[in-house]
Amino acid sequence: MADFDLPLLDFDLFHNGTPEERLQLGEALVESFIKHGFVRLRNHGITDEMVQNIWKWEKKFFAMTEEQKLKIYHAPGPDPQRGWSKKGLETTSKLRKENYVGVDKSKTTLLDEKEHFDCGPKEETQFPNLFPDEDLPGFREFVYEYFEAAQNVCLDIMRACEVGFHMETGTLVEKCIPAASELRMLYYPEVAVETLKKGLIKRAWPHTDFGIITLLFQDGLGGLECEDRRKPFSFAPVPVNPGENVMVVNTSDTFTRWTNKVVTGGLHQVNTPPGLQNQQDGSIPERYSSVFFFKAHRGASVGPIKHFVTEENPAHFPDITALDFHREMTKILY
């Protein structure tokens, strides 16, 4: 099979291009979402400085002692995740049980080798955020600054999708205000090749995310893989683009529902990084990544939007609220 090639688009055209360029950008974005469930963007609106600060704060956060992190421990449950989740808590393999051929899931759980920090919007009152204010002053302020920037980029991507789908302006954006997104910082500890070879642990098992779209930055090590849809459930590495500020965007389950399967969520996993896959012993280095799960506002319906319901493509999903859908999905993870 020819090399897998994930489109890399210049998002600046959406803001500063001619009307034709704006339309072309919107259409190319939608085309990549339909074809791959993924796209890569340059000039996306998150500055180089902010990306460097993400890495700086992630390193500081995960370097805290277990005792410090336990002060903001996330208690598993169906509600949106807040604070620190330790290794082994969230299990992505539970989301796609049907895809694990040859694994007896009644005898074993396929675990994720990762820990993470999650938080919601600054204005959050329903599901309060948890911050290590005493142990890590300045962290909360940075996280909120990045949250706001990422939320704005996502709203712009929704505007570009409205253009690309030839939809009425505001149809997607109005379902995303007020913000209910989740920012996640991820740490994958160094792991022995021997452990990975047993096949029961992966950095993240194949899954789709629950929101509308997910923004992702990965460090220079890599390991994120997206489905190569020419052969279902086969995966190709998402390149790391050293020295260039590239954002990865994948479509998620809410988008599948809104678009009535015109777009389907991008299936992905975190695997042994490219270049290390033939390593027979020793260990795979630690890895950091940053994920922003862009969500619909909690009361918005995640049922199909009229624009995507036709005689040939009748509604595939019921009208339930974004919060009910989120709870349904999070429950599966634990």
Ligand X SMILES: O=C(O)CCC(=O)C(=O)O
Task: Verify binding: residue 253, ligand X, rule CB under 6 A.
Answer: no
Task: Verify binding: residue 289, ligand X, rule CB under 6 A.
Answer: yes
| Cβ 274 to ligand X shortest distance, Å | 13
State which of residues 29, 54, 186, 213 lies at the interface with ligand X (CB under 6 A).
Answer: 186
Which stretches does DSSP call E strand in 276-325? 283-284, 287-294
State which of residues 22, 268, 295, 326 lies at the interface with ligand X (CB under 6 A).
Answer: 268
Residue whose structure tokens are 């034709």: 20
**What are phi and psi for residue 236, nearest 5 degrees?**
-130, 145
Task: Verify binding: residue 93, ligand X, rule CB under 6 A.
Answer: no
| Partner from Fe ion, ligand X, none binding residue 225, C-beta < 5-8 Å depending on class | none
| Cβ 116 to ligand X shortest distance, Å | 7
Decide: 309 and 317 in contact? Cβ < 8 Å: no
DSSP annotation of 76 reads: P
Mention every residue, 6+ apart, whose C-beta is less than 8 A from residue 57: 139, 142, 143, 185
* Whole-number Å distance between alpha carbons of 90 and 117: 12
Nearer of residues 25 and 143 to ligand X, judged by Cβ: 143
Task: Verify binding: residue 270, ligand X, rule CB under 6 A.
Answer: yes
| Cβ 192 to Fe ion shortest distance, Å | 24
Decide: 296 and 180 in contact? Cβ < 8 Å: yes
Torsion of CA 116, 122, 128, 129, to 10 degrees: 30
Residue 13 CB neighbour total at 10 angstroms: 19
Residue 78 one-letter amino acid: P
| Cβ 188 to ligand X shortest distance, Å | 7
Question: Per CB under 6 A, which region of 11-19, 80-88, 216-224, 300-308 contacts ligand X?
Answer: 216-224
| Partner from ligand X, Fe ion, none binding residue 224, C-beta < 5-8 Å depending on class | ligand X
| Cβ 312 to ligand X shortest distance, Å | 33
- CA-nearest of 262, 162, 176 to 211 is 176
Binding to Fe ion (CB under 5 A) within 158-217 occurs at: 209
DSSP annotation of 287 reads: E
| Cβ 325 to ligand X shortest distance, Å | 16
Summarize as ranges the residues that interact with ligand X (CB under 6 A).
184, 186, 204, 209, 216, 218, 224, 268, 270, 289, 291
Summarize as ranges the residues that interact with Fe ion (CB under 5 A).
209
